[in-house]
């Protein structure tokens, strides 16, 4: 059961930042609710005000332009990405990661912005956004700032967002168009599950990138592997960038072993 809280649904970005400023201490943003509602139910979060970020006109933006690349607003769900012809065609890497996230019903509600702000080490969208050089546009009453995702995650479930600030939109640059990749996510079951470990490899011409989920306090980008490296060198570099722990889903050793398996497999798969 949920306890009593107030629900606010501002209709403009101006109203939203004003409310966020007023509710710095007792407000929480609601996007798809697939993290927030279970957290409230479990008593992990106790906001007095729940602030819906899906109702402003900009929230539903999912649009491509050569200047801004792909712009993703706060109401855009994981399935909106999967159903978007533009995403499928220009940014297939977003779709390979989106497809691995949770179940169909959750993908119908869960937003891309909520996924990254939640900043779980096992976030499935973070690897794609890291490899595609995406940027986070943050807004508060005091103005806007922009930040590459490489600098966005600071610790387990922590980001650079300050109280009163929100992630207004994500921009995936036009330069990342056409990058190809594949995401291998190890789970306990074939159905929906959080990852034990996940490895994304993206190739754009000669440029190779890896991103790893569930293997460090934050999702990790590895941009030090080059096309001249052999598989063992690539594995060494990727393992050098992560610091997996042992927990209920798997041991450190198992995670490290599977990262190696996945890096080798991806190098031969993603041509």
Partner 1 sequence: MKIKLTVNGLSYERECAEHRTLLRFIREDLGLTGTKEGCGMGECGACTVILNGRAVNSCMVLAVEADGAVIHTIEGEANGPALSDIQQAFENNHAVQCGFCTPGMVMSVKELLAQNPKPDATQIKEAVEGNFCRCTGYTQIVEAVMDLTGRPEEKGELKHV
Ligand X SMILES: Cc1cc2nc3c(=O)[nH]c(=O)nc-3n(C[C@H](O)[C@H](O)[C@H](O)COP(=O)(O)OP(=O)(O)OC[C@H]3O[C@@H](n4cnc5c(N)ncnc54)[C@H](O)[C@@H]3O)c2cc1C
CA 165: distance to chain centroid?
18
Instruction: Select from 30-38, 57-65, 119-127, 232-240 the region that touches partner 1 (CB under 8 A).
Output: 30-38
Interface positions, 36-55, toward partner 1 (CB under 8 A): 37-38, 41-42, 50, 52, 54
E-only strand ranges, the chain: 6-8, 27-30, 49-52, 62-65, 69-73, 135-140, 143-148, 153-155, 158-159, 166-172, 180-186, 197-204, 207-213, 220-222
Residue 3 found at the interface with partner 1 (CB under 8 A): yes
Q: In the Cβ-directed half-sphere of 145, how many Cα atoms lie within 13 Å?
A: 13
Beta bridge partners of 150: none
Residue 10 found at the interface with partner 1 (CB under 8 A): no
Instruction: Select from 34-42, 84-92, 145-153, 172-180 the region that touches ligand X (CB under 6 A).
Output: 34-42
Residue 96 found at the interface with ligand X (CB under 6 A): no
Exactly one of 65, 88, 103, 227 binds partner 1 (CB under 8 A); that residue is: 103
Residue 140 found at the interface with ligand X (CB under 6 A): no
Residue 140: which of partner 1, ligand X, none does it interact with, CB under 5 to 8 A by kind?
none
- Minimum separation from the CB atom of position 110 to partner 1 (A): 9
Residue 203 in tokens: 């190739």
Give the residue among 74, 93, 68 at the shortest CA–CA distance from 82: 93
Query: CB of 157 within 8 A of CB of 123?
Result: no
Residue 218 found at the interface with ligand X (CB under 6 A): no
Q: Is 77 exposed, middle or buried (0-12, 13-18, 19+ CB in 10 A)?
A: buried
Residue 106 found at the interface with ligand X (CB under 6 A): yes
| 3-state secondary structure (DSSP) of residue 64 | strand
Binding site for partner 1 (CB under 8 A): 2-7, 9, 30, 32-34, 37-38, 41-42, 50, 52, 54, 79, 102-106, 108-109, 191-192
Binding site for ligand X (CB under 6 A): 28-36, 38, 53, 74, 101-102, 106, 109-111, 113-115, 117-118, 122-124, 161, 166-167, 192, 194
């Amino acid at each position: 059961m949920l306890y009593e809280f107030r629900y606010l649904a501002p209709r403009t970005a101006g109203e939203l930042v004003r409310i966020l400023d007023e509710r710095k201490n007792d407000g929480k943003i609601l996007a798809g609710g697939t993290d927030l509602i279970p957290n409230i139910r479990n008593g992990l979060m106790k906001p007095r005000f729940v602030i819906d970020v899906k109702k402003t006109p900009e929230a539903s933006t999912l649009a491509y332009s050569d200047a801004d690349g792909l712009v993703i607003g706060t109401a855009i769900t994981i399935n909106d990405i999967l159903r978007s012809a533009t995403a499928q065609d220009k940014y297939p890497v977003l779709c390979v990661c989106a497809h691995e996230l949770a179940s169909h019903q959750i993908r119908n509600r869960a937003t891309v912005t909520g996924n990254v702000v939640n900043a779980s080490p096992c976030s499935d969208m973070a690897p794609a956004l890291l490899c595609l050089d995406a940027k986070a546009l943050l807004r508060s009453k005091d103005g806007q700032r922009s930040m590459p995702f490489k600098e966005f995650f600071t610790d387990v479930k922590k980001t650079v967002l300050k109280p009163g600030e929100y992630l207004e939109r994500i921009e995936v640059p036009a330069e990342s168009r056409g990058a190809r990749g594949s995401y291998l996510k190890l789970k306990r079951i074939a159905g929906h599950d959080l990852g034990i470990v996940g490895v994304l490899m993206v190739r754009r011409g000669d440029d190779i990138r890896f991103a790893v989920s569930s293997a460090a306090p934050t999702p990790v980008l590895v941009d030090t592997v080059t096309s001249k490296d052999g598989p063992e060198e690539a594995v060494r570099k990727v393992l050098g960038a992560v610091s997996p722990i042992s927990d209920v889903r798997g041991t450190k050793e198992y995670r490290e072993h599977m990262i190696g398996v996945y890096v080798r497999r991806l190098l031969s798969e993603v041509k």
